[in-house]
Amino acid sequence: MTHRGGRRQDEGSRGEGRRDEVRRDEGARDEGRRDEVRQERRRLADDVSPDETPPDDALAAGWAALVETARRTVRDGLVVGTSGNVSVRVGELVLVTPTGVPCDRLGADDLLAVDLGGRRVRGTLAPTSELPLHLALHRHTPARAVVHTHAVHATAVSTLVAELPPVHYLAAVLGGPPRVARYARYGSPELARNVLAALAGRTGCLLANHGAVTYGDTLDQAYDRTAQLEWMCRVWLAAASVPGRAPALLTPDQLAEAADAYQDYGQDNGRDSGRPE
C-alpha cells in the first residue's frame, strides 16, 4: 500500500511537473509569438536608418504586405474597383498604391516608393491621387501605415453628421468617436489638412461625402481599424434607422473608461490587432 501510495505520489508529482512544463512551454510559445510580432513590426521600418535607403528586401517585403492589404480591402467589400489606397513606411520612404491600377493586377515589379516630400524614388507608375493625404499622415502623425477607403457605411455616415455618435465602446480603438473631416476636393492639400484636423487624438476619421481613413503601427492594425470603423458606422445607421427610436449613446465617462481598459488590454497581452473583445 505504502509502495503504491508512494508511486501514486511520484506519478502525481511527475504529472504536476509535466503540467508545469506544459505551462512553461505555452508561456514561452506565447512570448515567442509576441516577439515575432514585435520583430515583424520593426523589420519593415525601424531597423532601417533614416539616412539610408532601405534595403531592397525590406522594400519588397513591405510592398508584398501592402498589396495583400489592398486586396483584402476589396475582398472584404470595403473598396470597389480602384477607389481605395494604402501606404506603409519603410525607413524614410513611403510605399503607396498607384493610381488607376486594380490591386489584383499589382505584382512585385510594380513596387512604387516616394520620399516624404512626395518625390518618386522607386517604380514607374503614378502614385494614388490621394498621395497628399497619405504623406500628411506619415509626416504629422505616428502613422506607419495608412488605409483609405470609400466603404459604404462610412461614406453614408459622412453625409449625415459631423461626428459618429458613440453607439459602441469600440470607438476607444480609434481614440474616441470618429469625426468627419470637412469636405474638400479629393487629392487636394486642403483635404489633407482637413483630415489632419479631424484626426487630432484619433487614429481614424471619416471624410465628408467621400469615405474614411485610418492609420496604425502596421498595415494589419490600420486595416483592422478601418474594418472596425466601417462596422461602427453600420451599427449606428442600423440603429438610427428604426422609426420613432433614437440609439442610446455612451457618455464621455463610459468612453473614457473603455479607453483606459483598452490601454491596459494592449499592454497585457501584447497583441497587435489592438481589438478589445
- As annotated, the active-site residues are 130
Residues 185 and 31: beta-carbon distance below 8 Å? no
148 burial via Cβ count (<10 Å: 0-12, 13-18, 19+)? buried
C-beta neighbour count of 49 within 10 angstroms: 10
Q: Categorise residue 223: left if φ over 0, alpha if ψ from -120 to 50, beta otherwise.
A: alpha
Q: Please count the residues of the chain.
A: 277
What residue type is 241 in one-letter code?
Answer: S
Angle in degrees, CA 184, 186, 187, rounded to 5: 115
Least Cα distance to 219 among 40, 3, 23, 81 occurs for: 40
